[in-house]
Structure formats: C-alpha cells, structure tokens
Amino acid sequence: MKIKFGWLPTSIAVALAAGASMALTGPALAQDMAESETGTALEEVTVTARKREEALQDVALSVSAMGQREIDANFATDLRDLTYVSPNLVLDDTNQGPGGVAATYIRGIGVSEVEKNFDPAVGVVVDGVFRGTMTGSIVRAIDLQRVEVLRGPQGTLFGRNTIGGVINLERSKPTMESGGKVRGSYGDYETAVLDGIVNFGNGETWGVKLSASYRDQGEGYFKNVTTGRRDGQSEYKAGGVNLLFAPADGVEIEWTSLIERTDQDSNQLLNVAQPGQVFCDVYAWCSPNTSTPVSGDRYRVGQAFDNYTWPTERFPTNQTPDPGFDHFGLSPFNSTFDADTHQVEVRWDLNENYRIDYIGARWETEEKVITDWDATQDLLFHTDRPAEYEQDTHELRLTYDAGEELTYTVGAYYWDSEYEIRLRSLIAFFTPFDGFLLDLPQTTNQTSESKALFFEGDYRFNEAWTLTVGGRWTDDDKTTDQFNEGNPFTTTASAKESWSEFTPKVALKWDFQDDAMLYALYSRGYRAGGFNGRVDSVETATIPYDPETVDNYELGYKSRHMDGRLQFNATLFYMDYKDKQEEIQQPSETSGTGQVTRVVNASNATISGAELELMYLFESGLTMRANLGLLDAEYDDFLVDVGTPDNPVFADFSSLDFRRAPEVTASVSGEYEVDLEKGSLLLHAGARYMSSHEVDFANKPELSNGSSTVVDASISYFVNNWYLSAFGRNLTDDDSYALGFDVAGLWSYAAVRPPRTYGFEVGYSW
C-alpha cells in the first residue's frame, strides 16, 4: 500500500475544513476546557507521559490527551468510545474471550491474538501499572480522570512491549474531603447502568474513596437465527476502595483495591466461509458473497450449543456433557471474567529537588469460556478455555528537578507473571464417522520474569535548546510447559530462554518562539521473545521466537496561537521494523485440526506517515478538536514456510497489507455550552473516519473493511448539582468487522463492532 503524499495538503485542508464546518453548524467536539481570566484560552493540559507532570505542549513527544470533562461528555462504556482522541489509533474488541480482548494498534503496530503467550505491542497502563495481556485491557471508562495516547516506541520509561506506543490511563485520587457523585442510565438493548463514588477524609492527612459500578445488558446485540435468542447479554459488577494517607509533609501513601466480575454470553462470531474452504465445500456452510456472513446479516448469528447428540461411546475421554446448554459443566451462555487489582504507591518528596516514587501491584484474572468458532448450528470446531493469569510488578524511581539546566529520572523495574490455560478442542470435522467427536486436551503453563534499569534526562543549554537522552536495559526470562494429559494429538514438552536488550532515546527540542517549538526524536522499542502457546509437536513447543525491535525517527512541531485559543501540532515519522513476529499457519500431521498456528520472526517492514492535531476555542465558547493521521506500512520482506517439516514450502507474503493500518484516520469533535435562565445546556458531538483496511493477516476479501465513519453525540442539561443527558453512539450504525481470521483453508470467521446504541442518564454530585 502506497501513500501518495501529493494529496497530503488537500487532505489536511479537507479534514480541517470539515471540522470547522461541523463546529459552525452544530455541536462538534472538544478538549477538556477551563476558561482563563479573560475566558478566551484553551486550558494548559498536563500529562504524565514521562512519569512526571508536564505541560502537553512542552513535551518533545507525539502524545494526545483527553481530560475528565470530555470523557464524561462521551458517555463512554470503555476505551473503544474514546479512540478519536488520537490519529493513527485503532482499538477493537476481538470477541475471542470474555472481559474484552483488545486489538490495540498505533501506527499499524499491534496484536490481534487471544493467546497469552503473545505479549502486547501497545502498552495499556492504568494508574502507573502495565497490563501484560490483551485480555482485560479494554478498560472500563469508570472514574477516568485522564487518557493519554503516546505514539511510537516508549522503550525508555515504559519498557518492553510498547513498540507501537502506550495508552496511559489515570483514575481520580481521594480528595480527602466529603463529596461524591452517583449516576444511572438506561438505554436500548435493556442496558442499565448505575455507579457512584464517595469521598471522605479529614482534609489534611487521610482520605478514602469508595467506588461501585453495575452494568447489565439484558438483551444482546445479536439475533440467533437458530435458537431465536438475543445473544450478547452481559453483566458487569465492580467495587473499589482507594486509601490516601499523608503522614508528613511531602509524603503520600496510596492503596487501591478493585474487584471486577463479568458474566456474559460466549462471544458472538460470524461464519464467512467461501467456496474453496472446507466448511463451505463439504458442509455447505457458505456465505452468499464476500460481505455477508452465512447467517445473512452481521447482527445475526447461528451457533446452537444445545443442538447435538452426545453418545457416551463416541467420547475418547468418556466424558459426556449434560444435555442442553452445558459443555463440561459450563454454560456457553455464561462465560466469566474475574479481575482483581491490588496496588500500593508511595510518593516521597525528599526535599525541593529530589522525589522518590514506588509502585507495587498485583493484577490477576480468571476466565471461563466456551467458544463456537465455526459459528453454525453444527459442532465442527469448539473450544473450552478456562485460564488464570497473574502478574506482580515493582517500580522504583528517583526524580531530580531543581529548576535548573539538568532534570532526570532513574529507576529500576521488576516483573513476574504466570498464566495457565487448560484448552480442550472439540472437533467433529474429518472424523471417522458422523457424530464422532475428538476431545483434545492441551494444558499450557508459561512464566515470565523481567528486570530493567532505566534513565531519562533533560539538559537545557539555554532558553531555546534542550537535549533529552535516555536508555533502558531489559533482561527477560521465560519458561513454557506443555501437558497433553495422555492425548496422542498434543504435546508434552518444557523449555526456557532468556533475552536482553538496550533501548535508547535521544531528542533535541528547539523553543524558537514563546508558544512554538520543533523537536527531533530517535527512540527504539523492544518486544520480548517467547514460546508458542498453540503447539503440535515438541519442536513447535520448545523452539522460541526472538524479540522484535522498532527504530523510530520523528520530526515534530507544537504551537499555540491567537492568545492561546488555537493549538496546532504536527508530526512526521519513519519507523524501521526488524524481526517482526508474525502468527502464521502451517499444515500439520500431528494436530487434531490438521493445522497449527506458530509465531515466527518472519518479516521486516517500514512504516512512515504524518499526524496533525488541531484544537480551537471560538469566541462563542465552542471548542473544536480535529486530527488527521496518514500511514504507509509496508513489508520489506516476508518469507513464510507454509509446508511441513518434511516438505518445506516458502511463500512470499511481502505484498500483503498490515492489519489494522488504515492509510487515513481522521476525526472532528467539539462541545458547546449554552447558559440558560436556570442551569446550562452542553452539546457534544464527534465523528471518526477510517479508510479501508484489513483485519485478517491473509487479507482475505471476505474479511476486509471498507471505509467507515462513526458518529457519537450527546445533549446534557445541568441545574444545581443535577444533570440529565441523552446520548447516542455509532449513530451511523457502522457494521465494520472488529476481527477477521482465515483458518488454514477450513473456514473464515469474523466479529462485528457494536451497532447503534442510545440512552438517557441522570446524575447528582455533592
């Protein structure tokens, strides 16, 4: 895919003109805004992108930020509703497991897998703690105070597995004062939400914040054409306590515990098999065309877990599921995801110049899910996937800032994680006789230990020039253990491996005017190696894949104009992607499915592009945000062995497009507040555009997305301490695919994004 930069100026003009037009004709979107003394300036936004508070416009880094007011105005359910904050950002729920399995891509770099042997390529950091899996990384938008999107490798301060960037989230802290807020909403699909926060304390030395949330969706988005049921129901409950203790001047100790419980229907997938694939040619499950699933509509599904005969003698393991909605004791319409977070943070100002920060945390999850991957009323390929994951992290930082030429942060980091999945594949295609079921168990247990030392410092030569130098040394150790429980189609094996990497950073900033600066940046990102989680032999279980690296080069411009009412930032970037980890499929004579998915360092690539961001405060009080991302992601070389170990066959895939790498992303949004005789009215709206892009590795036409535009809007009335709102999301009813997967010539499956939704909300604060 080639970006023709000749149309770059025209594209910029069109995007910004569209934003201005939207702003002038009705509610558009906005930066979290606080009026200056004259009431005519955008707020100076503070970010923690470099582990200390800095003004957004002073940071020599590609970063976008959103404050609490804008988050609240979006009535966001989770992170997916906030993606318009940044150009070149794509975030979807892949619907491959409970609790939300994130496919987060920045500048075309990310991961779309459910298996936990895949490390993230974009880090999701919540209150300073990195989440080590894609499952559970679609964070609920409850009590979010700030969202920051850091684009490009963040290997110095955030470490490994951030080669695409970081989404940095912060929740509110205890206020130490009495107060709180409560809100409730009801929307279509029988969706009810109730959550609240209560603060209390003595105002000086201690404070407590209690939070609770409940969300129930009683009707799913999907009509099941086999059972008549509305699939996609879910229930989410959470409770948290946040304690803040300040025993002495300059010392704060904060403890956070958050317990989250999710019960939901198993994931709704669509069969989009085409002629030439086994499930179409042999079993007659064929899509009518490349844009329509077998079920006839993207919001209709066909799975039927209760439509089988389970003769005891046909089970190799002599396990017979109960009749009806039950596979081995777990209802397919009752998947679960439990997450517990426990965290302590110490902030200690040693004196005016030195500060120590320590964050220690444990995040653990447990999930149960049965998935109908063939997405039909037949049992062709299902899995039972109970899994547990836990991680412990410790980070210690020393920051020096005396208000002089030199400032720096140095630190140490330790990570320890473990996960186990007891996968059972239920396979009924290509079996000896009709109705025969292969029950293939495979247990995977993998551990990861990581240690790092890091530093980053600024040296200000004079008022105009600042040099930033940083680096991080990381050492990773991983182990894998595979158990087959006596099944001849799976593998028993163990292995371990270690890697280390140094990731440097250099930036030069030139403040050539009071409100304008240019910067040049080089940074390197590193994503750890590992072991395959899906295996079919001792070889695939024990031979590790190596780390991948990204070298990033940026030129950036940041500015404020018109007495602070206009803010404009621009970035050009070029990234050299080495040893890219790819999930490839190979035929297999030793797996029950006839194929195996492996991770190999199969390719090198080049990624380049541009990012433009604009915020403008009109004299009327209307605030607009607009951004434009242009992306060109290409493989330099991509050779894959698609044969077997005895008969290797190499194919050249370098002509494929990257997944989730649209050439153009653009958004416009804004808010406008109107004072009334009693109270005020807040209008908010936003639109996000993505050009056509792939969600499947193989670029299969039945799994491609055309261009799309998603529009959200809300209107809120505030009076005294109350507010009443009406809101709508995805008003264009965009039905693009959030997931696409071609299963080795057997069939293709997909998952669709949520449809148009709307609702009403009432809230009270004190």
- Please give, one letter per residue, the 3-state secondary structure of 482-527: EECCCCCCCCCEEEEEEEEEEEEEEEEEEEEECCEEEEEEEEEEEE
CA distance 171 to 127: 7
Tell me: pLDDT of 179 over 90.
yes
Residue (of 739, 740, 735) closest to 754 by Cα position: 735
CA distance 179 to 213: 17
Residue-level pLDDT at 266: 87
* Architecture label for domain 5-383+390-399+408-765: Beta Barrel (2.40)
Tell me: pLDDT of 35 over 50.
no
Residue (of 449, 371, 304) closest to 741 by Cα position: 371
Q: What is the pLDDT of residues 472-528, one digit of tens each?
A: 999 999 999 988 765 555 568 899 999 999 999 999 999 999 999 999 999 999 999
Establish how many alpha carbons lie within 13 A of residue 406's alpha carbon, considering only the half-sphere containing its beta carbon: 5
Q: What is the pLDDT of residues 404-437, one digit of tens each?
A: 999 999 999 999 999 999 988 888 876 544 556 7
pLDDT band at 342 (very low <50, low <70, confident <90, very high): very high
Q: Which residue carries 């499952």 as its tokens?
A: 135
Tell me: pLDDT of 24 over 50.
no
Q: What are phi and psi of 621, to 5 degrees?
A: 105, -5
What does the DSSP assignment read for 674-737? Answer: EE-SSSEEEEEEEEEEE--EE-STT--GGGEE--EEEEEEEEEEEETTEEEEEEEE-TT----E
pLDDT band at 314 (very low <50, low <70, confident <90, very high): very low
Integer-rounded Cα Rg, in Å, for the chain is 26
List C-alpha distances in Å: 660 to 108, 126, 350, 694: 6, 24, 46, 6
- Cβ neighbours of residue 256 under 8 Å, at least 6 residues apart? 127, 240, 241, 242, 243, 341, 342, 343, 344, 345
- Average pLDDT for residues 645-653, to the nearest whole number? 80
pLDDT band at 41 (very low <50, low <70, confident <90, very high): confident
The H-assigned helical ranges of 537-623 are: 538-542
- Cβ neighbours of residue 201 under 8 Å, at least 6 residues apart? 174, 175, 176, 177, 178, 207, 208, 244
pLDDT band at 307 (very low <50, low <70, confident <90, very high): very low
Question: Bridge-partner residues for 603, per DSSP?
Answer: 580, 638
Residue-level pLDDT at 489: 57
CA distance 22 to 410: 46
Tell me: pLDDT of 447 over 70.
yes
The DSSP secondary-structure symbol of 6 reads: G
Q: What are phi and psi of 417, to 5 degrees?
A: -145, 160
Number of helical (H) and strand (E) elements in the chain, helices listed first: 4, 43
Residue-level pLDDT at 678: 92
Q: Where are the domains of the chain?
A: 5-383+390-399+408-765
Q: What is the pLDDT of residues 701-732, one digit of tens each?
A: 999 999 999 999 999 999 999 999 999 999 99
Residue-level pLDDT at 23: 34
- Cβ neighbours of residue 532 under 8 Å, at least 6 residues apart? 117, 540, 541, 545, 597, 598, 599
Tell me: pLDDT of 120 over 50.
yes
pLDDT band at 31 (very low <50, low <70, confident <90, very high): very low
Establish how many alpha carbons lie within 13 A of residue 225's alpha carbon, considering only the half-sphere containing its beta carbon: 15
pLDDT band at 144 (very low <50, low <70, confident <90, very high): confident
CA distance 703 to 695: 7
Look at 312-321, 387-396, 544-553 and tell me which has the smallest mean pLDDT: 312-321
Q: What is the pLDDT of residues 229-265, one digit of tens each?
A: 899 999 999 999 999 999 999 999 999 999 999 999 9
- Average pLDDT for residues 297-314, to the nearest whole number? 64
Task: State which amino acid sits at residue 584.
Answer: I
Question: Bridge-partner residues for 578, per DSSP?
Answer: 549
Q: What is the pLDDT of residues 50-69, one digit of tens each?
A: 988 899 999 999 999 988 88
pLDDT band at 333 (very low <50, low <70, confident <90, very high): low
Greater pLDDT, 186 or 533: 186
Q: What is the pLDDT of residues 351-386, one digit of tens each?
A: 999 999 999 999 999 999 888 999 998 888 888 889
Query: If you average pLDDT over every residue of the chain, what do you get?
Result: 87
Residue-level pLDDT at 574: 98
Q: What is the pLDDT of residues 668-684, one digit of tens each?
A: 999 999 999 999 999 99
Tell me: pLDDT of 105 over 80.
yes
What does the DSSP assignment read for 123-150? Answer: EEEETTEEE-SSBT-S-B-SSEEEEEEE
CA distance 407 to 455: 11
Residue-level pLDDT at 115: 85
The edge-to-edge listing of strands for the beta sheet with 270-271 is 270-271, 747-752, 737-743
Greater pLDDT, 328 or 506: 506
First-last CA distance in the chain: 54
